[in-house]
Structure 1
Amino acid sequence: MPKLSMDIVLDKNTSAKLRAISKHTAALADELERIDAETCPGCGELCEVTEYHADGMPAHKSYMCHVCGYIKRESTL
């Protein structure tokens, strides 16, 4: 089997570019986790999420699926 090789050329902007990629990758991972958390376990559709606040702080969230009727409430206190 032939050996593979790769040349990597680093310029003065490489560090900044890698930091930008890292930042956007972290934001994408957070968004994908949010989508997973808001997906209905019954039918796989996205739930409507309502966040309730008390004294300016999040008190609880409710998840409601308009397709199958699934409802979930969770405390965020």
Structure 2
Amino acid sequence: MKTTIHDVAEKAGVSISTVSKVINHQPVAVKSKQKVLHAMQELNYKPSVLASALTGKRTSTIGFLLPNIALIAEMA
């Protein structure tokens, strides 16, 4: 099973929001930051790019909608 931000928070003994702040390079107490980074390293945690994209950031993904060609062929 993949390591989650919840696992890192539990291992480091901090809140999930503290882990999120460390990941997003926001201000956090030095001691807390060290605990989080150490827990991330121990658990081999890597933030999910897809999950962070779901928060409203750009994903650089393009979607295409194509008609069902088989259905068009039957109509002709």
TM-score range, shorter chain: under 0.3
Structure having the larger proportion of residues in strand: 1
Larger relative contact order, structure 1 or 2 (CA cutoff 8 Å, min sep 6): 2
Q: Structure 1 length as normaliser, TM-score?
A: 0.21
Structure having the larger proportion of residues in helix: 2
